[in-house]
Amino acid sequence: MKKIAVIPGDGIGTEVIREALKVIEATQAKNPMDIDLVEMDYGAEKYLKTKITMPEEQYDDFKKNFSAILMGAFGDPRVPGNEHAKDILLGTRFKLDLYVNFRPVKLLDERFCPLKNKTPKDVNFTVFRENTEGVYVGVGGIFKKNTPDEIAIQEEINTRKGVERIIRYAFEFTQKNNLKKIAMADKSNAMQYGHNLWYRCFFEVAKEYPNIQSKHFYIDAMAMMMIREPESFEVIVTNNLFGDIITDIGAQLQGGMGLAASGNINPDGVSMFEPVHGSAPDIAGKNLANPMAAILTAEMMLRHLGFTINADMIDRAARIAIQKNKLTKELGGNLGTKECGDFICEVIRNGN
């Protein structure tokens, strides 16, 4: 039995996760999976009432008893600094050591790509973003705040262990999926210590994979190439900050936030899956949110857990919805969140 924690969170998170759960259940009816979905109410509402973001013992519970976590989104205008969101998302990534941020960039239909003459064949690569180090560790400080002499220091942490394990994971993925090319992006020309570690580590690990073509990019050149020649990439590995930026470029190449799924993986433990988009307070509660990213995230989670048949059902149904334009408004369809989820469930049930 695989236990899955489901945390819808705030805003459109609750709406899109509802649809993702419906879709998982529709596949269950066709091919039962031995899973237990456990809903949890962490998010702004709970935080405002109790000041609890995510209690320490919850992380232990995840480690001991769960196989995966499916999250929606966090962020609420009633919590001005969104401190609960930061605590829950960064807390989960760091405390569960989810060091692999897995972001496939896959164009499902030519009409969603903002680049001209690029087809699904051209935009199909995977980004691995380091997820536990870099500038996100919050090391630094401000001295003489709000004075003309103010000094702000923000450190970037790169460890041999942290850099090597994400690079190795990306190489393993490349090999397992019979891919031929891997690209690593850093800024080692300007950041000659931390990023020199990335540069050395990448080519050291590359020696163990002689059949994979390993290429180094400075991050600025990679950003340019992602737009000019997305077809030149198969697998990309990079640090936390650059990964944050280029996966947003990637999300746009595949049709925007409404279609982008992500996994936060600990290969030896529990992993967390979430759509790339946020809680989108501007459209929350209006049945406008595109549930596709959450549905594709559920697919990614099921695939990760080994439920390939059910994941394939979702993949097929999502492609049919796209082909038939059974989509939400921002992608050119005329369905609401619920109706889009209903359509995918119907395809899964009836197979057409």
Choose among 167, 158, 161: nearest CA to 188.
158
Q: How far is the CB of 290 from ligand ATP (least distance, A)?
A: 3
Q: How far is the CB of 130 from ligand ATP (least distance, A)?
A: 20
Q: How far is the CB of 326 from ligand ATP (least distance, A)?
A: 15
**Helix 308-323 / helix 292-304 crossing angle, nearest 10 deg:** 160
Instruction: Give whichever of 75 and 341 is closer to ligand ATP, judged by the CB atom.
Output: 75
Instruction: Give whichever of 293 and 335 is closer to ligand ATP, judged by the CB atom.
Output: 293
Q: How far is the CB of 327 from ligand ATP (least distance, A)?
A: 10
Task: Give Cα separations from 40 to 54, 224, 279, 311 (angstroms).
Answer: 10, 41, 17, 23
User: Which residues sit at the interface with ligand ATP, rule CB under 6 A?
Assistant: 12, 75, 257-258, 277-280, 282-283, 289-290, 293, 330
In the numeric block, the tokens 């925007």 are attached to: 256
Q: Which residue number places its CB atom closest to ligand ATP?
A: 278
Instruction: Give whichever of 283 and 300 is closer to ligand ATP, judged by the CB atom.
Output: 283
Q: How far is the CB of 14 from ligand ATP (least distance, A)?
A: 12
Instruction: Give whichever of 86 and 303 is closer to ligand ATP, judged by the CB atom.
Output: 86
Choose among 135, 50, 141, 53: nearest CA to 89.
53
Distance CA 77, CA 121 (A): 40
Instruction: Give whichever of 188 and 279 is closer to ligand ATP, judged by the CB atom.
Output: 279
Task: Give Cα separations from 103 to 100, 106, 119, 196, 261 (angstroms).
Answer: 9, 9, 19, 24, 7
Instruction: Give whichever of 24 and 305 is closer to ligand ATP, judged by the CB atom.
Output: 24
3-state secondary structure (DSSP) of residue 225:
helix
Task: Report angle CA 99, 103, 109 to the nearest 5 degrees.
Answer: 175
Choose among 61, 55, 16: nearest CA to 38.
61
Q: How far is the CB of 138 from ligand ATP (least distance, A)?
A: 17
Distance CA 185, CA 243 (A): 9
- The pair of structure tokens assigned to 3 is 């236990």
Instruction: Give whichever of 107 and 205 is closer to ligand ATP, judged by the CB atom.
Output: 107
Q: How far is the CB of 216 from ligand ATP (least distance, A)?
A: 30
Q: How far is the CB of 82 from ligand ATP (least distance, A)?
A: 7
Beta strands in 213-300 (DSSP E): 213-218, 235-238, 261-265, 271-275
Residues 6+ apart with CB under 8 A from 287: 15, 336, 337, 338
Distance CA 91, CA 95 (A): 6
By the 8 A CB rule, do 144 and 150 touch? yes
Q: How far is the CB of 24 from ligand ATP (least distance, A)?
A: 18
Q: How far is the CB of 74 from ligand ATP (least distance, A)?
A: 7
Instruction: Give whichever of 40 and 288 is closer to ligand ATP, judged by the CB atom.
Output: 288
Instruction: Give whichever of 214 and 264 is closer to ligand ATP, judged by the CB atom.
Output: 264
Instruction: Give whichever of 264 and 279 is closer to ligand ATP, judged by the CB atom.
Output: 279
Beta strands in the chain (DSSP E): 2-9, 35-39, 68-73, 100-106, 124-130, 140-143, 151-154, 181-186, 213-218, 235-238, 261-265, 271-275
